[in-house]
Structure 1
Amino acid sequence: MRAEPGLPIDGCTFEKEVIRLSSRVISGDAAKSSRRINVVLRTPEPATVSDPEQQLGGKTVPSQGPFADVMKELDQLVGLDNVKELVYEIYALLQIGQYRAEAGLAAGQQVYHMVFKGNPGTGKTTVARIVAKLFQSMGLLQKGHLIEVERADLVGEYIGHTALKTRELIKKAMGGILFIDEAYSLARGGEKDFGKEAIDTLVKAMEDHKNQFVLILAGYSDEMDYFLSTNPGLPSRFPIAIDFPDYTVDQLVQIAELMVKEREYTLIPDSVMRLRQLLTAEKNRTLTAFSNARYVRNLMERSIRHQAVRLLGQYTTTSPGRQELMSIKPEDMRTEKRSIL
């Protein structure tokens, strides 16, 4: 009996074949028999099935589609575990709402206006952009764009001007997110300040167009708590509040390494040690206003400039090698000079 290559044979025939091949091995036809055994013992490889899901941030999400792209972008951010958890909760709620609608069940809409509280450079604006993409991909928002503003964009110079400017920005944000940074500044001037007019206009728009746009207010934690307390109706209108904690030194080092890698630079080990020293000193110096990733970005960009000056001085007749062009050294990493008042 001869088995076709790659095809299995039944148990009875298998035993006879082994006995016959063994006798051929004894008779000296070992090389040919070795090839023959490989043919007889070959079994079909199991079929591979593509996995429709993947793990991102400890959660199982689809590996394809708009939401997968959103979660990949979010998962690449350093830290922010509580933020990633909340974004997944929103996704789960929207997805289950779609399933309920398909099953003929009530799928009531929720309010998604938010407050982001934390120091500068903790990722508030970046997360707002990702949330906009999530809402657009899940059909909650038509456009999914982000309009980023501050007090000067909302508050006018005379009575009635503020309401007009604020309504214009709300109109631009329809189908997307209106993101107000340092929102607490709207309440700083007291009752006679035009900022109160902006707040009143925003509150009315949240009620009139609650399913057409999402309002996100952002700022320092203590200031935002005070701001919300100035208007009794504000806290209940923002059911989602997210704290953005300061990054740890390890997380900031990781952010720095990602930043320089994108620019095709590297931090040598001594530079990483120098970076840790600078980060620790800066965090201790500015306990309540540390700018986190913003400080790291400024430090890395300044270090790249210092590296360029150093290399230009060292290589006057020849050009530096590839490794030299990429390496950020400790002497390149210097703090910004501050004037003494």
Structure 2
Amino acid sequence: MDRDRDPFKHIEEEFSSFVGMKRLKQRVKEIYATIVINEKRKELGLTSTKQVLHMLFKGNPGTGKTTVARKLAKIYFDMNLLSKGHFIEAERADLVGEYIGQTAQKTRAIIQKAQGGILFIDEAYSLARGGEKDFGKEAIDTLVKQMEDYGNDFVLILAGYPYEMERFLNLNPGLKSRFPFILDFEDYEVDQLMEIARQMASEREYQLTKEAEWKLRAYLYKQQQETTRNFSNARCVRNIIEHAIRLHAVRLLYKSQVTSEDLILLTGSDLSLDHQ
């Protein structure tokens, strides 16, 4: 690969199927560039700093937080930043025990498992739920300590809704400084969600008819106008496409003759948008 012409070609390739996320791609390029230049500085005996890669992801459901975290595990492995590049997803129940001493043990065990890869904790603010007597605080303290001890071959990514993550950080003043990268995952625009819908259909070798696209676009606009807090972005689109494929199959079973076009086209009648 000729990296002299475009040193970031491999990063562009890894993220090529991602819709939007301009700022995130820029961040990954900055991390990569810093690492490469730090190596060159080290060779010349200049001061070089070790890049800490722990991150906070703030965004609504379906904005790509988990998908990006998985992708980063692969990219960081390719960059030689992580020795294994595996991805471990955890939630409150995986870290918080029911009696004294159990939480620190569970949290340490999961970090041990994540060595060489990425530990991704979604809805991380749930660890701060429950006040002083809750063991969630113990999990946070253990995570912070382990981040110090194992900082070199392990990346911790905490993720969750924007407002709750902000509150979580304010409750734990020591946390913010340990996460050099705080990334905002914005809600997708309708055009981007339509692109995601086409992509999802095409991956499964289906295609939306013009009428189906029109119907879906109108639905997504309505959802965004109403700004329901529960609107789940790309996740909502995926559910619609998967349901449409099932309804399409039911519709075709009633036809005596099925053409190859019938097998590919998802029509407006295949989109059930009432129960999303």
| TM-score, structure 1 normalization | 0.77
Q: Point out where structure 1 has 5 or more consecutive residues left out of the alignment.
A: 1-50
The residue number in structure 2 matching 1:164 is 105
For residue 246 of structure 1, what is the aligned residue in structure 2? 187
Residue 148 (structure 2) pairs with residue 224 (structure 1): no
Report the alpha carbon displacement of residue 107 of structure 1 after superposing the two structures with TM. 2.2
Tell me the residue number matched to 1:116: 57
**Aligned counterpart for 1:330 among listed residues 254, 268, 274:** 268
Question: C-alpha offsets along residues 267-305 of structure 1, whole Å, 9 cap, x if unaligned?
Answer: 111111011011112223443332111000000000011
- Relative distance call for 1:93 and 1:210 in structure 2 (3 A) is same
Decide whether the 8 Å contact of 2:8 with 2:29 is kept in 1: no
Query: Structure 1 137/258 Cα, relative in aligned 2: closer, same or farther at 3 Å?
Result: same
> For the pair shown, which has the larger CA radius of gyration, 1 or 2?
1
Output one character per residue of 1:94-123: Cα deviation in whole Å (capped at 9) or x when no partner: 111222233333322022111000001111
The residue number in structure 2 matching 1:21 is none
1:97 match = 38
Which residue identity lines up with residue 324 of structure 1 in the other structure? D
Residue type at the aligned position of 1:108: T
Offset, 1:336:
4.5
The whole-number CA distance in structure 1 between the counterparts of 2:176 and 2:42 is 30
Secondary structure of 1:241's match? strand
Residue pair 2:35, 2:51 contacting (<8 A) in 1 also: no
- In structure 2, runs of 5+ residues without a counterpart are none
Contact kept? 1:271, 1:333, Cα under 8 Å: yes
For 1:258, the equivalent position in structure 2 comes to: 199
SS in 2 for 1:110: coil
Contact 1:52/1:62, CA 8 A, preserved across alignment: no
2:98 is paired with a residue whose SS is coil
Tell me the number of residue pairs that the alignment of Structure 1 and Structure 2 aligns: 276
Is the CA contact 2:92–2:126 (under 8 Å) kept in the aligned structure 1?
yes
Residue 129 of structure 1: which of 62, 70, 90 is its match? 70
The answer to whether the Cα contact below 8 Å between 1:147 and 1:173 also exists between their aligned partners in 2 is: yes
Note the aligned Cα RMSD (angstroms). Answer: 1.7
Residues of 1 paired with 2:269 and 2:54: CA distance? 46
Alpha-carbon offset, residue 142 of structure 1? 0.9
**Aligned AA for 1:334?**
S
Q: What stretches of structure 1 move > 4 A for 4+ residues in a row?
A: none
Q: Write the distance in 2 (CA, Å) between the matches of 1:259 and 1:160.
A: 45
Paired AA for residue 44 in structure 2: A
Partner of 1:152: 93
TM-score scaled by structure 2? Answer: 0.95
